[in-house]
Each structure stands twice: as structure tokens, then as C-alpha cells.
Amino acid sequence: MKNLIFGLLLLTAIGSYAQENLNFNAKKEITSPEINADKTVTFRVIAPNASKVELQGDMLGAPGIAPMLKQTDGIWTYTTAPLKSELYSYSFIVDGLKIRDANNVYQIRDVASVVNVLIVGGGKADNYLITDVPHGTVSKRWYDSPGNSKQRRITIYTPPGYENNKTKYPVLYLLHGMGGDEEAWAALGRTAQILDNLIAQGKAKPMIVVMPNGNVDQQAAPGEDIKGLYKPTMQLPNTMDGKMEETFTDIIKFVEANYRVNANKSQRAIAGLSMGGYHSLHISRFYPKTFDYIGLFSPAIMPSSKISSKVYENFDATLKTQFDNGLKLYWIGIGKTDFLYKTVTDYRKNLDKIGAKYTYVESEGGHTWSNWRDYLVQFAPQLFK
């Protein structure tokens, strides 16, 4: 009986302590980030003993860091100028230590970095929001890749209603950049949200979007395969040496065997950003009768002179053959300050030389997800007409 009474008293004490803590924490609760009515954004962080706190974010422009102001209650604040509609990422730097915003649960991994994110709506970023429309399904599947002698993981978006009908759908193969993986386009690119909204608005045809891992040295994204938990790195073996291009048919075979797809050339598209644009260029050229729609978003173009692969042989001749076979759309997008701008300019001269027809879009900014999300919004509505 004494033990029972003691136990009840202990539970009561713990409950009271927990409740006291909840009340204490409630007094310290802050909102960060806070999107204000005028599209300014206020950031806050509790650091009463810090001597210097800074905000680092892509909403700040160069150099991307701004000092925060300490208030009398130990909370540091910074309010931006009115921001354009966009998805932004940021971190705090407290006495030289980079940390995340403890008051913002929304975070995204980009290669080896994890950053907080926010979305300022009322413009183009409305494409990235979850709205009151029918939603597609995002699944992560494992497939057999005989060309790479391993099981590999892939992310696949199926459009709203896919599970409830017998329709055969066109397919967009959407490839990430260096350091990315099969999670990049879904997380950083907001692919499902963009496609849901475009389809609901009647701007894009319902389609399946296949987002593979372009690093054939990996089975899956870091922490998701037998290698366990390890620090991701930017450049991996076999990323731009022809192996991804050569074995891409493993992905197509899996998709066409497991999903209701229209397997005609006119119902296949391939697009990618940076390294993924490089892969899209060479996959579509190496398999010239496979895709009618090609999208190159800030693409790398040619392999290193040290690389030897049959994929890159007879580049000019095979490129001409690809265009001679007939294409419905060859789309190129690049930012004016992108470090690959000149490379793309030289490639366009090569296309002009062989008389190739293509669509070219030049945007502000550089090698950024802000541009690549925009390119997907522009590219998807032009598919499968």
C-alpha cells in the first residue's frame, strides 16, 4: 500500500513538473519566421548569452548574411524588406556556429546541408503550395538495375485518379543535379505540388513523373540503403562517365512493366537540372528514338576529356541523328548569371550549326532551385500535346 501511495505521489510530482515546464516554455514560445502582411518576414531566435547573431538566407542577396538585433528579452530579430513570392531557405549563425531555427519544423536536406524553409505566396510560389485540388501520389520504389548489378530506389509521382482508372499515362523522367538523389526533385523541387496545381488548372496533362537517383554508385539517397548513415558528398563515382546514360533503360523497363504508361516515343519526356540536364542530353541522344520531349535546365554539356565511354562517341553525328528523327520539343533554360551560361551559349551555336530547332529561355539569377522550379512550371505544360 505504501508503495502504491508513493508511486501515485511520484506520478503527481512528475506531472506537476511537466506542466510547470510546459507553462515555462509557453512563456518563451516565439514565432519564427513570421510572414507579415506587407510580405516582409521577421525571424527570431532566443540567444540571451550570445554576443553576435546573424541570419543567413537566399532572401538576402549577396553576400547572403545580415546582422540580427538583440532585444531586451534576449530574443534576436531581423525583418527583411518585402519579399517576392518564392520558396526561401535560411539558417542562423550564433557566435560563429551555424544552427537551424528551432521554431520552424520545416527543413530540407540539400546534399550535406539541412536548412529551414519558408514559402512567401501571392505569386509564382503559389505553384509550390498544397492547395484544395485533387492530389497525386508520391511513392518510393525499389527496382532491379542489372546494368548496375544492384537494387536501386526511385521516386515516382502518379497523377490524381491514377489508382481509380485504367488510363495509360505519358511519362516525364525528371533528373537531379550533382549531389542530389531520388529525393531532390520531390523535396527541393516541389514536383508533386507543382504537378497537382498545373493539372488541376488544366495547364498540364496528367502524367507520371519518374525521379531516379542519377548517382549509379548509390542504391539510394544517403541513409536509405545498406551503406547506412554517412555524410553525403557532392561528387560520387560514375556520376558523369556514361554509366548512368548507358543503364537508363533499366529504369524505363521497370516503369513500363509496373505502371500503366503509354510507351510511345511521343508520350515520353526527359528533363533534368545541371548534371541531370547533362544526363538528359546524352540519354536522349544515345537512345535517339526514345523521347520526343527533352528539357535541359542549366545543363552541363560535354564530358571531361579524361572520360572514355561509348555514350559520348560521335557526339555531333548522333546529335544530328536525334534531331533528324524528329522531336516535338527541345527546351533549354539558363540563368543569366549561371556559371554554365557560356557553356550553354556554345552548345546553342552547335545546335544552330546543324539546323536544330529548339526553345530557349533565359532567366534572371544563376544556378538555383528558384530557376529550376520555374523551368518545371514552364516546361510541363508543353508536354504531350
The string of pLDDT tens digits covering residues 202-242 is 999 999 999 999 999 999 999 999 999 988 888 788 889 99
Cα–Cα dist 25/224, whole Å: 35
369: left (phi over 0), alpha (psi -120 to 50) or beta: alpha
Q: Measured between alpha carbons, how far is residue 271 from residues 60, 74, 216, 301, 311 in Å?
A: 30, 48, 18, 13, 18
Domains 31-122 and 131-382 fall in the same CATH topology: no
Query: How many residues are given for the chain?
Result: 385
What homologous superfamily does CATH list for 131-382? Alpha/Beta hydrolase fold, catalytic domain (3.40.50.1820)
Cα–Cα dist 221/182, whole Å: 6
Query: What was the pLDDT predicted at 237?
Result: 86
CATH fit for domain 31-122, picks 2.60.40.10, 3.40.50.1100, 2.30.110.10, 2.60.40.1930: 2.60.40.10
Q: Which helix (H) or strand (E) holds 145?
A: strand 137-145
Residue 61 bridge partners (DSSP): none
Question: Are residues 133 and 121 in contact, defined by beta-carbon separation less than 8 angstroms?
Answer: no
Domain ranges of the chain: 31-122, 131-382
Cα–Cα dist 150/146, whole Å: 7
The closest alpha carbon to 34, from 6, 75, 74, belongs to: 75
Query: What was the pLDDT predicted at 63?
Result: 86
Query: What was the pLDDT predicted at 27?
Result: 54
The closest alpha carbon to 211, from 309, 261, 138, 294, belongs to: 138
Residue 46 bridge partners (DSSP): 75
> Which residues of the chain carry a pLDDT beneath 70?
1-28
Q: Measured between alpha carbons, how far is residue 33 from residues 46, 101, 120, 174, 205 in Å?
A: 13, 9, 11, 31, 36
Query: What was the pLDDT predicted at 164?
Result: 95
